[in-house]
Amino acid sequence: MTDFTEYASAFRARIDTALNQVIPDTPASQLAEAMRYSLAGGGKRIRPLLLFASYRAIAGTTEHPALETAACAVESIHAYSLIHDDLPAMDDDALRRGRPTCHLAFDEALAILAGDALQSLAFELLADSPALADGTRIQLIRHLSRAAGMHGMVVGQAIDLAAVDTELDITQLEHMHRCKTGALIDASVAMGALIGSADSQQLKALARYSRSLGLAFQVHDDILDVTADTATLGKQQGADIARNKPTYVSLLGLTAARARAQELYQEALAALTELAGDTEPLQRIAQYVVERRH
């Protein structure tokens, strides 16, 4: 974990600096404060890190004027999803990243509006970026909008809500999480590669990587929900069990869930062997995903 921490810290600083600049300080408003509270209030920044690492695997560098913009767009979608996921009508969570959730720090109506504004901000950032060629811009908007909407994250959230107090088999559970968690991870990896002008073969290999990584991320989340404590997680431990949600641990058991996470991790690494570029950052991120403590 030390190697990943050292690698990620510099990029997180770049990402956080960019995130602090996308919501203007003036005119001052509670809406802007609520947006900034959720967007720039910490987090692992896995999705932006994946975008940078994917670009590096294709281009051999992490210097491109559109990278920060695309990273902010991805993180804006992620922050919006967390705000809405925490709402009383959804998961009704009180804690996120060790702080009160947005609807408790402000109020429910403002939290909904902050999420709405962050969602539209993501596409405004991509549309306005002078560093993107028009064709690339359209590709990025297509990938991000599809990942965020009825074919990705939102349908995953709908399945998740409908699954409370029901039984899913492992195929249904994996479909839910490929949408809810995996789709935005897929988009992050694809967007970095597209900025780097990846060819179809490179995009296919990276898609296999991100598909396995997205599921590994969720399997490990389910493991942490029963093995970690609230202070470490930064959110309520045992929340899925309390809501009677199906998880990898409830379906497979803890030992088999850990084995599944390792299997998915190895699949992700295998996909990277098809790329000739520098994939070490992608490898480090995958290792972090299955070894993290929060």
Q: Which residues of 139-168 are buried (b: 16+ CB within 10 A; e: fewer)?
A: bbbebbbebbeeebbbbbbebbeebeeeeb
- What is the pLDDT, as a whole number, of residue 253? 93
Q: Which residues of 50-74 are buried (b: 16+ CB within 10 A; e: fewer)?
A: bbbbbbbbbbeebebebbbbbbbbb
Kindly tell me the burial class for residue 255, based on how many C-beta atoms sit within 10 Å of its own C-beta (0-12, 13-18, 19 or more).
Answer: exposed
- What is the pLDDT, as a whole number, of residue 5? 79
Residue linked to tokens 């998740």: 160
- Top pLDDT among 243 and 92 is at 92
- Please state the pTM of the whole predicted model: 0.93
What mean pLDDT comes out for the span 240-269?
A: 89
- What is the pLDDT, as a whole number, of residue 201? 98
- What is the pLDDT, as a whole number, of residue 1? 45
pLDDT digits (tens, 9 = 90+) for 206-239: 999 999 999 999 999 999 988 877 766 555 666 6
pLDDT digits (tens, 9 = 90+) for 85-98: 999 999 889 989 88
Instruction: Please name which of 176, 151, 34 lies closest in space to residue 100, comparing C-alpha atoms.
Output: 34
CA 34 to CA 274: how far, in whole Å?
Answer: 43
